[in-house]
Chains A and B, each alone.
Chain A
């Protein structure tokens, strides 16, 4: 598939927003449960507001993927059958609940507890909807796996925790060690899941073949003409057009930028007590996530490509 940058930016920003909400919410929840010192209210409100802001930016980016953005409101109609429609409903809900959680915190009282639970549910539902959009396309075999969901959850949570480290540097130094630990644990867990999906996809055998595509059993078939010498939607949308070397380079880049570098930056930053190392971990990881999501799309091999192998 050709990676659409609007969708790459949308899924990575929203994922980081969801992860940041989880990081902030669980920091508070764990403190409540363990009767420890609560994180400063400013950290929680700023974190939740930033989570809503990232998801809002993601939503804005998603409009650039539409041919008719003015009709986007129509996309909420088919929630009974379409995961995309469900995502369109749940994403604004998550943003609204994050904003409500922020407001409840700001106003004080116990309202934040309930809004937090609802925001948590919306966050989980949003991860499910986003992943299911890809998982439910069974002939895109690279995506049709529970690992897709696991990766969206873990990569979003890891990047959110890493962003929470930057936030804690400024607003909640007493939470720094816990959040550094969370960022490293989640990043390593995400590495495990992403490595598993890379290994799975490397072993995939395409179910469709030229034989099944045109219904001829002969093992020796080649296309001599796709039917036109120009380009078309089919030749643009489903081919990424990058060389195998570039695709490999992107893979190794994201393995370093998403997983290795942030963990090293945070570990060294903690040991050396260096705020600058800690604060560059998130930009590095986010940049890597752009490469990771590009690769996620590029790696998916659409069966329609079987029909477009020879121009003339």
Chain B
């Protein structure tokens, strides 16, 4: 069975936020309606995003590294957000493993967001329904697009190719090979959600090698 997912290469992410802005642009412009912002130019802005890039400092000065860490829905193989949904709005697609929300069925109860240990879901303050990364499902399945462009907007935008996209269940795919050969790992494995998205650890040489 197919499982589409992202693999994030932490060696080359430079924290430019191009994936964040391209995600917002694509997903605010589609037929599903905007990802709303509240007070975007005011003193206290807030808004819905499917993807964020965070930054961490690892180690103690002077032996430190800066890690840029893109974070979005991990499209878990055992997603805890799906069975808790009272309406069936939250579901995992059988054909490609994408975890989606049917905006027309969602009652905005927030329970799925509580049930996600990663904080991957955001209630849109304007639509009043739960929203999350769709892996740009309206883009990757668009047959009118050239095949090379049938990728999530964040993947297309990344200038350093830190974001790989494909079927992690196909052992010959780029993503499956990257996970296998470069030690791809899942976030918070302690909750046994089996995230489909994985991260490629840093390969650090020299004095700051005590990262991972």
Residues of A within 8 A of B (CB): 1, 4, 65-69, 71-72, 74-78, 81-85, 88, 133, 136-140, 207-208, 210, 212-218, 220-234, 236-238, 302-305, 307-308
Contacts and interface: CB of A to CB of B under 8 A. Distances in A.
Contacts of A77: 86-88
Given A78-B85, A213-B187, A233-B122, A221 B56 contact: yes
Interface in B182-205: 185-191, 199, 201-202
12 contacts: A67-B109, A71-B106, A74-B89, A77-B88, A78-B87, A82-B86, A137-B114, A213-B188, A218-B212, A220-B59, A220-B60, A302-B117
Given A67-B107, A212-B188, A227-B71, 8 more contacts: A67-B109, A75-B107, A137-B80, A214-B67, A216-B211, A227-B55, A233-B113, A236-B46
A84 B211 contact: no
B95 to A, nearest CB: 20
A105 B88 CA distance: 39
B187 A212 contact: yes
Contacts of B20: 227
Counting chain B residues whose Cβ lies within 8 A of the other chain, the interface size class is 35 or more
A307 B119 contact: yes
B119 A308 contact: yes
Interface of B: 17, 20, 44-49, 52-60, 66-67, 69, 71, 80, 82-89, 105-111, 113-119, 121-123, 125, 127-130, 185-191, 199, 201-202, 210-212
Contacts, number: 183
A1 B114 CA distance: 9
Contacts of B109: 65-67, 75, 84
A136 B84 contact: yes
Given A221-B57, A233-B123, A308-B119, A67 B52 contact: no
Nearest to B89: A74
A216 B212 contact: yes
A67 B188 contact: no
B107 A68 contact: yes
Nearest to A217: B212
Given A75-B107, A215-B185, A231-B46, A82 B56 contact: no
Contacts of A303: 117-118, 188, 191
